[in-house]
Amino acid sequence: MSKAKTNRYNRFGGSGAKYATFINEDEVLGINQVNEAYLYRLSDRHLVKFIGHQLSIEWAGVIGDHVITAGKDRRLIFWNKDGKPFKTIDSDNGEFLSLDISQQDSLVAVGSQDGHILLYDYDGNQAGMLSGHSDAVNYVDVSNDGMKMVSRIQGPIGHHLGFEDLKGDRKAAADSLCPL
Protein backbone atom coordinates (compact mmCIF):
# COMPACT_ATOMS: atom_id res chain seq x y z
CA MET A 1 0.00 0.00 0.00
CA SER A 2 1.50 3.33 -1.03
CA LYS A 3 1.39 6.50 0.95
CA ALA A 4 -1.00 9.20 -0.17
CA LYS A 5 0.61 12.04 -2.04
CA THR A 6 0.56 15.33 -0.20
CA ASN A 7 0.00 18.54 -2.08
CA ARG A 8 2.62 21.21 -1.68
CA TYR A 9 1.54 24.81 -1.90
CA ASN A 10 2.91 28.28 -1.44
CA ARG A 11 1.10 31.03 0.34
CA PHE A 12 1.22 34.33 -1.56
CA GLY A 13 0.35 36.69 1.28
CA GLY A 14 -1.07 36.56 4.75
CA SER A 15 -4.49 37.76 3.63
CA GLY A 16 -4.97 35.13 0.95
CA ALA A 17 -5.42 35.14 -2.78
CA LYS A 18 -8.27 36.81 -4.68
CA TYR A 19 -7.42 34.91 -7.84
CA ALA A 20 -4.55 33.30 -9.66
CA THR A 21 -4.13 32.17 -13.25
CA PHE A 22 -1.50 30.48 -15.37
CA ILE A 23 0.01 32.89 -17.89
CA ASN A 24 2.18 30.17 -19.42
CA GLU A 25 3.30 26.67 -18.46
CA ASP A 26 5.70 27.95 -15.80
CA GLU A 27 4.26 31.20 -14.39
CA VAL A 28 1.22 32.01 -12.26
CA LEU A 29 -0.09 35.56 -11.92
CA GLY A 30 -2.36 36.46 -9.03
CA ILE A 31 -3.66 39.16 -6.77
CA ASN A 32 -4.25 39.00 -3.04
CA GLN A 33 -6.39 40.77 -0.45
CA VAL A 34 -3.66 43.24 0.59
CA ASN A 35 -3.31 45.30 -2.61
CA GLU A 36 -0.51 43.22 -4.12
CA ALA A 37 -0.10 41.27 -7.31
CA TYR A 38 2.41 38.47 -7.60
CA LEU A 39 4.13 36.42 -10.27
CA TYR A 40 5.27 32.97 -9.25
CA ARG A 41 7.60 30.86 -11.38
CA LEU A 42 7.04 27.17 -10.72
CA SER A 43 10.36 25.87 -12.08
CA ASP A 44 12.51 27.62 -9.49
CA ARG A 45 9.85 28.81 -7.00
CA HIS A 46 10.75 32.43 -7.66
CA LEU A 47 8.18 34.94 -6.38
CA VAL A 48 7.95 38.59 -7.47
CA LYS A 49 5.51 40.94 -5.74
CA PHE A 50 4.06 44.02 -7.39
CA ILE A 51 3.38 46.59 -4.68
CA GLY A 52 2.16 50.09 -5.48
CA HIS A 53 -1.62 50.31 -5.19
CA GLN A 54 -3.25 52.14 -2.28
CA LEU A 55 -6.57 50.28 -2.59
CA SER A 56 -7.47 46.81 -3.80
CA ILE A 57 -6.23 45.53 -7.13
CA GLU A 58 -9.22 44.43 -9.18
CA TRP A 59 -7.49 42.92 -12.22
CA ALA A 60 -4.03 41.92 -13.35
CA GLY A 61 -2.73 40.69 -16.67
CA VAL A 62 0.42 40.03 -18.65
CA ILE A 63 1.34 41.42 -22.05
CA GLY A 64 4.71 40.27 -23.35
CA ASP A 65 7.21 40.81 -20.55
CA HIS A 66 5.03 43.36 -18.73
CA VAL A 67 2.54 42.91 -15.91
CA ILE A 68 -0.40 45.32 -15.72
CA THR A 69 -2.53 45.93 -12.64
CA ALA A 70 -5.76 47.92 -12.34
CA GLY A 71 -7.05 49.05 -8.96
CA LYS A 72 -9.83 50.76 -7.10
CA ASP A 73 -7.34 53.53 -6.32
CA ARG A 74 -7.91 54.74 -9.92
CA ARG A 75 -4.46 53.55 -10.93
CA LEU A 76 -3.32 51.47 -13.83
CA ILE A 77 0.29 50.38 -13.34
CA PHE A 78 2.55 48.87 -16.00
CA TRP A 79 5.38 46.81 -14.47
CA ASN A 80 8.45 45.00 -15.67
CA LYS A 81 8.40 41.36 -14.58
CA ASP A 82 11.07 42.15 -11.97
CA GLY A 83 8.46 44.06 -9.92
CA LYS A 84 9.53 47.58 -10.89
CA PRO A 85 6.83 49.90 -12.28
CA PHE A 86 7.66 51.78 -15.47
CA LYS A 87 4.39 53.65 -16.01
CA THR A 88 1.54 54.68 -13.70
CA ILE A 89 -1.69 56.09 -15.09
CA ASP A 90 -4.06 57.87 -12.72
CA SER A 91 -7.65 57.85 -13.95
CA ASP A 92 -9.97 60.80 -14.29
CA ASN A 93 -12.70 58.29 -15.17
CA GLY A 94 -13.34 56.67 -11.78
CA GLU A 95 -12.11 53.36 -10.47
CA PHE A 96 -10.67 50.79 -12.85
CA LEU A 97 -13.02 47.81 -12.58
CA SER A 98 -11.84 45.43 -15.29
CA LEU A 99 -8.94 44.72 -17.60
CA ASP A 100 -8.26 42.46 -20.56
CA ILE A 101 -5.38 42.07 -22.94
CA SER A 102 -5.31 41.04 -26.59
CA GLN A 103 -2.04 39.15 -26.94
CA GLN A 104 -1.85 39.33 -30.73
CA ASP A 105 -2.54 43.04 -31.06
CA SER A 106 -0.84 44.10 -27.82
CA LEU A 107 -3.96 46.00 -26.82
CA VAL A 108 -4.99 46.59 -23.20
CA ALA A 109 -8.66 47.41 -22.56
CA VAL A 110 -9.65 48.81 -19.16
CA GLY A 111 -13.24 49.29 -18.00
CA SER A 112 -13.96 52.15 -15.63
CA GLN A 113 -16.59 53.15 -13.13
CA ASP A 114 -17.91 56.02 -15.26
CA GLY A 115 -18.68 53.89 -18.33
CA HIS A 116 -15.51 54.52 -20.34
CA ILE A 117 -13.34 51.79 -21.80
CA LEU A 118 -9.77 53.01 -22.12
CA LEU A 119 -7.42 51.38 -24.63
CA TYR A 120 -3.64 51.29 -24.17
CA ASP A 121 -0.75 49.83 -26.11
CA TYR A 122 2.05 47.59 -24.87
CA ASP A 123 4.02 50.53 -23.45
CA GLY A 124 1.10 52.17 -21.64
CA ASN A 125 0.33 54.82 -24.24
CA GLN A 126 -3.38 55.56 -24.66
CA ALA A 127 -4.59 54.16 -27.99
CA GLY A 128 -8.24 55.20 -27.72
CA MET A 129 -11.31 55.51 -25.56
CA LEU A 130 -14.78 54.04 -25.97
CA SER A 131 -17.42 56.22 -24.39
CA GLY A 132 -20.76 54.74 -25.41
CA HIS A 133 -21.70 53.26 -22.04
CA SER A 134 -23.65 55.20 -19.45
CA ASP A 135 -22.83 52.97 -16.46
CA ALA A 136 -19.87 51.20 -14.86
CA VAL A 137 -18.00 48.76 -17.09
CA ASN A 138 -17.19 45.89 -14.77
CA TYR A 139 -16.02 43.37 -17.37
CA VAL A 140 -14.17 43.60 -20.69
CA ASP A 141 -12.95 40.82 -22.96
CA VAL A 142 -10.95 41.55 -26.12
CA SER A 143 -10.79 38.96 -28.90
CA ASN A 144 -7.39 37.39 -29.47
CA ASP A 145 -6.90 39.36 -32.69
CA GLY A 146 -7.76 42.66 -30.97
CA MET A 147 -10.56 43.45 -33.42
CA LYS A 148 -13.64 42.90 -31.23
CA MET A 149 -14.60 43.36 -27.61
CA VAL A 150 -17.48 42.47 -25.35
CA SER A 151 -18.16 44.42 -22.17
CA ARG A 152 -20.51 44.01 -19.24
CA ILE A 153 -22.24 47.10 -17.94
CA GLN A 154 -23.89 47.28 -14.56
CA GLY A 155 -26.64 49.87 -14.45
CA PRO A 156 -29.73 50.79 -12.47
CA ILE A 157 -31.96 48.56 -14.60
CA GLY A 158 -29.69 45.52 -14.58
CA HIS A 159 -26.74 44.17 -16.52
CA HIS A 160 -26.14 44.52 -20.24
CA LEU A 161 -23.52 43.30 -22.67
CA GLY A 162 -21.95 45.73 -25.12
CA PHE A 163 -20.25 44.63 -28.33
CA GLU A 164 -17.60 46.81 -29.93
CA ASP A 165 -15.93 46.49 -33.29
CA LEU A 166 -12.39 47.80 -32.85
CA LYS A 167 -11.35 47.69 -36.52
CA GLY A 168 -11.75 51.42 -37.07
CA ASP A 169 -10.24 54.28 -35.13
CA ARG A 170 -10.94 52.62 -31.78
CA LYS A 171 -12.89 55.64 -30.64
CA ALA A 172 -16.37 54.49 -31.68
CA ALA A 173 -19.15 54.01 -29.15
CA ALA A 174 -20.68 50.65 -28.40
CA ASP A 175 -22.60 49.56 -31.47
CA SER A 176 -25.09 47.29 -29.74
CA LEU A 177 -26.34 46.34 -26.31
CA CYS A 178 -28.22 43.29 -25.19
CA PRO A 179 -29.83 42.70 -21.80
CA LEU A 180 -28.26 40.01 -19.69
pLDDT reading at 67 higher than 60: yes
Query: Worst-scoring range by mean pLDDT, 57-71, 78-92, 151-165?
Result: 151-165
Q: pLDDT tens for residues 150-164?
A: 888 876 666 666 777
What is the distance between the alpha carbons of residues 40 and 13, in angstroms, rounded to a whole number? 12
Interacting residues of 63 by C-beta distance below 8 A, sequence separation 6+: 101, 103, 106, 108, 122
Average of per-residue pLDDT across 103-126:
84
Q: What are the residue boundaries of the structural domains of the chain, listed by start?
A: 16-90, 93-180
pLDDT band with cut points at 50, 70 and 90 for residue 145: confident
- Topology of domain 93-180, per CATH? Lipocalin (2.40.128)
Examine the pLDDT at 70 and tell me if it is beyond 70.
yes
| Torsion-angle region of 66 (φ positive above 0: left; ψ -120 to 50: alpha; else: beta) | beta
**CATH classification code of 16-90:** 2.40.10.480
What pLDDT score does 54 carry? 94
Please tell me if the domain spanning 16-90 has the same topology as the one spanning 93-180.
no
Higher pLDDT, 73 or 178: 73
Whole-number average pLDDT of the chain: 80
- Which of 24-28, 30-34, 143-147 has the largest mean confidence? 24-28
Distance, CA of 97 to CA of 111 (rounded, Å): 6
> In the chain, pLDDT over 70 holds for what percent of residues?
79
